[in-house]
């Protein structure tokens, strides 16, 4: 089942089961006549409000992400925890409302009856969706072409698991070997097509969406090579766990029917944190824009008086997943500074930088117009700094895993920016990449707040650039 269709189907079933829960509870609470009511309750408006309440809560906890090959127990466990929190929030809201209106009633505890009805119906709906999805996968609908890197006992064992459990929805199309001697060999009718040097061509040939790496312990370099080859491509990569220590901190263990696998480069930030992060981007950006408006006006006048050219300039940068966008910055260099040289690194005493430019760079005022990029969604407040496409391709060819930075929205500030100076060479980029990878591995709202606080000190005291 296509991801979009799956999400629409799950949303539709949730809409039915959540509203049915309210209808049954309303009948039990009001129409049955078993409980005293002070006023005649309204039916439709509260039902819609409660539905949107659960919709938002479910979105925050990741209930609408793709649950491909995931345990139904894990999904129901997440549902239980989300509904448990949600019911207690509703309970305390009802209790507060009773307190405000000076009403004393034990009927508020009936909300836990609603919880039981809600949990039963929504769980039933979710199980129906997953059972139908499983049947469709077995019948060949929504299956994913898969390639295994490695030809050994481990790769053969996982092949056997995939072949046995059709509900995984994986169709193994080819093996890719490390040694040329294995080319032409086969297991269960699937051949070794070529070596890892040709893995991208083979993946494109079969339109593969899943890549499983099953290599031996001494083949760590080959594993990293394969991962770096797919660094900028949309591919779900998993490895057999023997090599976990090689990428410690960048992987999350999962299982398919008892066979342990490790997801490479997963989304480490929960869905609810992603949404809060975006909400925080918008809120803080508007506050910064309001508070810094006098500084923006002052900087604009100073730039205009200091040298010819526009106050703000736009430049192409590579954003999330490599999408190119126009970044906004206060001009800190003379007009047409790169007309003769083309894109080059800035330096500590760069002659292209104006007098005002040196000052606004020192306290990072030159980055303020990027608030607009954050509001548009091109950037986030915190993330790896966006680089020009010209340098992205150049650096990706020299530095393994450089394009992993493109898995996140680029940031106005970042861990690398508060820990290191401006990029003046490839060596600076390599150092910053380590900080960026650390951020990607440890991304969280807490980490973002820490970086924002440190950025304030960088701006106030002019640190973090040329130390």
Tell me if 221 is assigned to some domain. Answer: yes
Is pLDDT at 282 greater than 90 in this prediction?
yes
Among 207, 236, 264, which residue terminates a domain? 264
Per-residue pLDDT band at 36 (split at 50, 70, 90):
low
Question: For the residues 416-432, what does the mean pLDDT come to?
Answer: 71
**Tokens 């034990």, located at residue:** 106
Torsion of the alpha carbons at 241, 398, 437 and 199, rounded to the nearest 10: -30
Give 106-164 pLDDT, tens digit per residue: 566 778 888 999 999 999 999 998 888 888 888 888 888 999 999 988 889 889 988 88
Question: For the residues 21-27, what does the mean pLDDT come to?
Answer: 88
What pLDDT, on the 0 to 100 scale, is given for residue 377?
A: 92
Question: For the residues 12-36, what does the mean pLDDT come to?
Answer: 82
Q: Give, as one character, the DSSP assignment of residue 29.
A: I
**One domain, residues 295 and 399:** yes
Among 138, 169, 186, which residue terminates a domain? 138
> Which of 8-17, 52-61, 412-421, 448-457 tops mean pLDDT?
8-17
Among 91, 113, 138, which residue terminates a domain? 138
Overall number of domains in the chain: 3
Per-residue pLDDT band at 407 (split at 50, 70, 90):
confident
Per-residue pLDDT band at 96 (split at 50, 70, 90):
low
Nearest alpha-carbon partner for 126 in 70, 175, 184, 181: 70
What pLDDT, on the 0 to 100 scale, is given for residue 243?
A: 46
Q: Which two tokens stand for residue 322?
A: 């490599």
Is pLDDT at 376 greater than 80 in this prediction?
yes
**One domain, residues 110 and 191:** no
Per-residue pLDDT band at 411 (split at 50, 70, 90):
very high
Give 197-221 pLDDT, tens digit per residue: 899 999 999 999 889 988 887 777 7
**One domain, residues 313 and 451:** yes
Hey, how many other C-beta atoms are within 10 angstroms of the C-beta on 214? 25
Beta carbons of 272 and 60 less than 8 angstroms apart: yes
Give 43-87 pLDDT, tens digit per residue: 688 889 999 999 988 887 778 776 555 567 778 888 999 999 999
**One domain, residues 22 and 42:** yes
Tell which wins on pLDDT, 17 or 236. 17
Tell me if 380 is assigned to some domain. Answer: yes
Per-residue pLDDT band at 466 (split at 50, 70, 90):
very low
What pLDDT, on the 0 to 100 scale, is given for residue 310?
A: 85
Tell me if 103 is assigned to some domain. Answer: yes
**One domain, residues 123 and 158:** no
Per-residue pLDDT band at 191 (split at 50, 70, 90):
very high
Tell me if 183 is assigned to some domain. Answer: yes
Determine the Cα–Cα distance for residues 452 and 153; give it in Å rounded to an integer. 49
Beta carbons of 334 and 298 less than 8 angstroms apart: no
**One domain, residues 360 and 406:** yes
**One domain, residues 119 and 44:** yes
Determine the Cα–Cα distance for residues 399 and 65; give it in Å rounded to an integer. 32
Tell me if 466 is assigned to some domain. Answer: no
Tell which wins on pLDDT, 445 or 67. 445
**One domain, residues 80 and 175:** no
Tell me if 395 is assigned to some domain. Answer: yes
**One domain, residues 81 and 209:** no
Lowest mean pLDDT among 32-41, 174-183, 348-357: 32-41
Is pLDDT at 23 greater than 50 in this prediction?
yes
What pLDDT, on the 0 to 100 scale, is given for residue 41?
A: 64
Give 304-336 pLDDT, tens digit per residue: 888 888 888 888 999 988 899 999 988 887 766
**One domain, residues 131 and 158:** no
Please list, in sequence order, all residues whose beta carbon lies within 8 angstroms of the beta carbon of residue 113, skipping any fewer than 6 positions away: 25, 28, 29
Is pLDDT at 240 greater than 80 in this prediction?
no
Global pTM reads 0.56
Per-residue burial over 373-412, b = 16 or more CB atoms within 10 Å of its CB, e = otherwise: bbeeebbbbbbbbbbeeebbebbbeeeebbbbbbebbbbb
What pLDDT, on the 0 to 100 scale, is given for residue 40?
A: 57
CATH of the domain at 216: 3.40.50.720
For the chain, give the mean pLDDT.
Answer: 80
Domain extent at residue 215: 144-264
**One domain, residues 397 and 424:** yes
């Amino acid at each position: 089942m296509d991801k979009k269709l799956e999400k629409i189907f799950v949303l539709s079933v949730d809409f039915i089961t959540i509203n049915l829960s309210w209808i049954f509870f309303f009948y039990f609470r009001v129409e049955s006549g078993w409980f005293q009511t002070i006023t005649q309750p309204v039916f439709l408006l509260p039902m819609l409000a409660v539905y949107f309440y659960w919709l938002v809560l479910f979105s925050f906890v990741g209930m609408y992400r793709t649950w491909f090959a995931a345990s139904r127990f894990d999904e129901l466990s997440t549902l239980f925890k989300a509904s448990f929190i949600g019911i207690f929030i509703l309970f305390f809201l009802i209790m507060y409302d009773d307190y405000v209106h000076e009403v004393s009633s034990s009927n508020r505890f009936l909300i836990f009856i609603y919880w039981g009805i809600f949990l039963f119906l929504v769980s039933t709906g979710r199980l129906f969706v997953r059972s139908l999805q499983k049947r469709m996968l077995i019948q060949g609908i929504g299956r994913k072409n898969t390639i295994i890197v490695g030809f050994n006992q481990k790769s053969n064992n996982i092949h056997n698991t995939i072949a046995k459990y059709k509900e995984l929805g994986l169709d193994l199309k080819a093996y890719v070997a490390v040694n040329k001697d294995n080319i032409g060999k086969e297991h269960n009718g699937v051949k070794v097509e070529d070596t890892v040097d040709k893995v991208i061509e083979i993946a494109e040939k079969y339109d593969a969406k899943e890549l499983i790496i099953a290599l031996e312990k001494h083949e760590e370099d080959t594993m990293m090579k394969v991962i770096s080859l797919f660094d900028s491509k949309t591919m779900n990569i998993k490895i057999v766990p023997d090599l976990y220590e090689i990428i410690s901190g960048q992987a999350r263990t999962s299982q398919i029917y008892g066979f342990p696998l490790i997801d490479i480069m997963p989304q480490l930030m929960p869905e609810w944190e992603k949404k809060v992060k975006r909400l925080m981007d918008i809120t803080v950006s508007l506050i910064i824009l309001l508070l810094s408006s006098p500084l923006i006006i002052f900087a604009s006048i100073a730039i205009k008086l200091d040298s010819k050219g526009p106050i703000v300039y736009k430049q192409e940068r590579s954003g999330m997943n490599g999408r190119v966008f126009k970044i906004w910055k206060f001009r800190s260099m003379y007009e047409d500074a790169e007309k003769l040289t083309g894109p080059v690194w800035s330096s500590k005493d760069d002659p292209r930088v104006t007098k005002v430019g040196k000052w606004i760079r020192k306290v990072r005022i030159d980055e303020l117009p990027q608030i607009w990029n954050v509001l548009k969604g091109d950037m986030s407040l915190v993330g790896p700094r966006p680089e020009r496409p010209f340098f992205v391709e150049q650096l990706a060819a020299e530095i393994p895993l450089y394009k992993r930075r493109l898995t996140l929205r680029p940031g106005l500030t970042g861990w690398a920016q508060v820990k290191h100076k401006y990029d003046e060479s490839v060596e600076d980029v390599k150092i910053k990449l380590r900080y960026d990878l650390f951020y990607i591995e440890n991304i969280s709202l807490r980490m973002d707040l820490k970086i924002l606080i440190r950025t304030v000190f960088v701006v106030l005291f002019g640190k973090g650039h040329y130390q």
